[in-house]
């Protein structure tokens, strides 16, 4: 998927919502749990109920791998079921030395037909390059994540090369360096919504790249702040919600309830896109 296609979809749907399919078999409605294709049946219902109000689906590979072969099969079925208009993200957090990253890129961009994959930056340039070599595919590199552990390394301060004193944070260096390895047409960054005001500084470093933003609650103000500080002229945001949407109800009405929540996100987003 090209950037133009993504931006057009955002404008048409007045939405920059990404629905996260973190499909935990123990959390789906009881009546589905014994179904032979439980995960896929659940995902199918969620996709059918939300596809006109979201622009992207994000499959969290961990929940599928935990089920072994059956899980991998459900992931294949799901990615094939998502309409082509949606950006299909493998939230896989992969990354390894060059020849191994090439195999991961093949796994998610060729064997499975994803449009995008999340990648961890720790191992540096040759761990990220193989993903960037694919045309019309997206590499989404971890910048500043929304979990508590982001303090442990991402938010450590590096020595400035000029002064030998305190310079930028590690995650800022990651954004700066990695953005030079790709461009706004093939590279996005994961930026957690924990401190939405920090987005201003992040936008100084990477004004043009799309950001994939997890950890955003609706009606809690954070979607407002993320949109205010993170949006650029092409929108430049994909805001992800997973459990809040897909597990909105534990009952047979789960898909309808998922739509209700997704609709609340989308309504609010439409206002910020004006």
Interior/surface letters 162-171, b for 16+ CB within 10 angstroms, e for the rest: eeeeeebbbb
Closest CA to 189 of 215, 214, 210, 168: 210
Residue 174 Cβ, how far from its own copies at the closest point, in Å? 7
Q: For residue 58, list its beta bridge partners.
A: 20, 89
Quick one: 25 or 260, whose CB is closer to its own copies? 25
Q: Of 52 and 96, which CB lies nearer to its own copies in the complex structure?
A: 96
Query: Is 168 or 225 the residue whose CB approaches its own copies more closely?
Result: 168
Q: How far is the CB of 235 from its own copies (least distance, A)?
A: 25
Shortest Cβ 223–its own copies spacing (Å) = 19
CA separation for the pair 249, 246 (Å, rounded): 8
Cα–Cα dist 132/146, whole Å: 24
- Residue 109 CB-density burial (10 A; 0-12 exposed, 13-18 middle, 19+ buried): buried
Closest CA to 177 of 165, 166, 189: 189
How far is it, in rounded angstroms, from Cα 190 to Cα 147? 12
| Rounded Cα gap, residues 207 and 129, in angstroms | 21
Q: Phi-psi category of 32—alpha, beta or left, where left has phi over 0 and alpha has psi -120 to 50? A: alpha
Catalytic residue among 14, 27, 70, 93: 93
| Shortest distance (Å) from residue 9 CB to its own copies | 27
Q: Point out which residues bind its own copies (CB under 8 A).
A: 22, 24, 60, 62-63, 65-69, 71-73, 76, 91, 93-98, 100-101, 103-104, 106-108, 110-112, 120-128, 142, 145-154, 156-159, 164-167, 170, 173-174, 177
| 17, two tokens | 């919502």
Question: Which residue lies nearer to its own copies by CB, 49 or 191?
Answer: 191
Which of 130, 236 has the CB closer to its own copies? 130
Decide if 93 is catalytic: yes
Beta-carbon-side half-sphere exposure of residue 228 (alpha carbons within 13 Å): 9
Q: Least distance to its own copies from the beta carbon of 146, Å?
A: 8
Active site residues: 93
């Amino acid at each position: 998927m090209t950037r133009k296609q993504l931006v057009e979809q955002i404008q048409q749907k007045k939405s920059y919502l990404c629905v996260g399919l973190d499909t935990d078999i123990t959390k789906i409605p009881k009546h589905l749990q014994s179904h032979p294709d439980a995960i896929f049946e659940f995902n199918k219902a969620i996709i059918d109920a939300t596809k006109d109000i979201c622009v992207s689906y994000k499959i969290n590979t961990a929940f599928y791998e935990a089920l072994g072969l059956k899980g991998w099969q459900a992931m294949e079925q799901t990615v094939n079921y998502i309409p082509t208009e949606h950006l299909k993200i493998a939230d896989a957090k992969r990354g390894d030395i060059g020849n191994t990253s090439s195999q991961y890129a093949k796994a998610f961009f060729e064997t499975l037909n994803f449009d995008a994959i999340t990648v961890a930056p720790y191992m540096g340039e040759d761990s990220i390059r193989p993903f960037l070599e694919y045309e019309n595919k997206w590499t989404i590199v971890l910048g500043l994540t929304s979990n508590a552990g982001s303090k442990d390394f991402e938010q450590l301060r590096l020595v400035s090369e000029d002064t030998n004193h305190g310079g930028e944070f590690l995650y800022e260096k990651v954004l700066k360096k990695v953005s030079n390895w790709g461009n706004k047409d093939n590279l996005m960054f994961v930026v957690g919504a924990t401190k939405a005001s920090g987005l201003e500084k992040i936008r100084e470093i990477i004004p043009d790249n799309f950001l994939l933003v997890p950890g955003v609650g609706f009606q809690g103000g954070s979607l407002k702040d993320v949109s205010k500080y993170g949006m650029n002229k092409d929108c430049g945001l994909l805001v992800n919600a997973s459990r809040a949407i897909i597990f909105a109800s534990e009952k047979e009405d789960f898909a309808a309830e998922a739509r209700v929540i997704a609709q609340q996100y989308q309504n609010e987003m439409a206002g910020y896109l004006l």
